[in-house]
Amino acid sequence: MAKEISTKYAPGSLGTSGKVITYTLLVLMSAFFLFPVVWMLSTALKTQGAVSLMPPQWIPHPFRWKNFIDIFTVEPVGRYLFNTVLYSLACVIGSTLSCAFVAFGFARMRARGKNTIFGLVLATMMVPAQVTMIPQYLEFVKLGWINTYLPLTVPAFFAASAFNIFLLRQFFVGIPRELDEAVKVDGGGYFTIFFRVVLPLSTPALATVGILEFMARWNDLMGPLIYLNTTSKFPIALGLANFSAAFGSTPWNLLMAASVVAVIPLLILFFMAQKYFIKGIVINASK
C-alpha cells in the first residue's frame, strides 16, 4: 500500500494532461517576463522613425545594426561601461573581503556580547537608506570627496552591507569547528584559519555575495546621481538616465541599443557563475 502511494505521488508522476498544463503555464509566464526584453531588442534594431509607428512594429524592417555603433559616438557609452566595470569590481572586492572578515568574527570567535552586536548589525537592514542619505552626504562634503568615486567605493571596504555579513556568517557557522582546532594544534592562528580553511570552503557563499554586489553596483543609480557631477565619470546606469541626442530629444532606438549593451555583461556573469550562485543560495536556505 505504501509503495503504491509513494509511486502515485512521486515526482514526475503527472499525467500527460498535467504536464501539458504545467508547461503551458511555464511558457506563458516566461513570455510575460521576456516581453520587455523582446521589446528592447526590437527597438534597438529600429530606425528613429519606426519607433513611434502605430501599431507597433515587432520585427524591424530594415534591421538597423548601425545603432550599436552609433551609441559609442552619440554618447560616451564606452566610457560609461569602463567606469562601471571599475566601480563594480572595486566594490565587489572590498565588500566581499570586509564582510567575510566581519562574518568570520561573528561565526568563529568567542566574545562577550557578540550576539547582541550581531543583532544590531542586522537591525541596520531595517533603516531606510533615505534616513542616512543626508548625513552621509554632509560627511563626504567635509571630506572633499564629492564628484569622485570615493563615497561610492570606500564604504564597501568597511563591511557596509549587513545582508552580506549575515549571508556569510550563516555559511561559516556550518563549517566544522574541528578544522579550527586542527589548525591551532599545528600552530596556526585565526588568520590561518580564515585564509586556509574558511575561505576555500566558502566558494559558493563568496560567489553569491560577489554576484549580488556586482549586480547592485552595476545597476546603481542613486549613489552616482548624488555624488557625481561630471559626465565623464558617470557609470552606465546614470549615463542611460541622461541619454539624449544632440538635438535635444531622446533617441529611443539608441537608448535601447545602449541598454542591450549594458545588460550583456550581467547575463554573461550570471551564466558563468550560476552554478556557484545557485549552490550558495541552496546551501544557505537548507541551513
pLDDT at 160 over 90: no
- Give residues with Cβ within 8 angstroms of 11, minimum separation 6: none
Q: What pLDDT score was predicted for residue 3? A: 46
CA distances 158 to 6, 122, 230, Å, are: 52, 16, 26
Per-residue pLDDT at 67: 85
- DSSP alpha helix (H) spans, 109-202: 114-123, 129-143, 150-153, 162-173, 178-185, 190-192, 199-201
- Residues 73-89: what's their mean pLDDT? 90
How far is 238 from 253, CA to CA, in rounded Å? 18
Look at residue 238 and tell me whether its pLDDT is greater than 50: yes
Domain boundaries, the chain: 2-44, 74-286
CATH of domain 74-286: 1.10.3720.10
Reported as a single tens digit per residue, the pLDDT across 171-201 is: 898 888 888 888 888 888 888 888 888 988 8
The tens digit of pLDDT for each residue in 122-152 reads: 999 898 888 889 999 999 999 999 999 999 9
Question: d(Cα 99, Cα 238) in Å, to the nearest integer?
Answer: 27
What crossing angle do the helices spanning 77-108 and 114-123 adopt, rounded to 10°?
150
Phi-psi region of 47 (alpha: psi -120 to 50; beta: other; left: phi over 0): beta
Backbone φ, ψ for residue 101 (5° rounding): -60, -50
Q: For residue 86, give the C-alpha cell.
A: 571599475
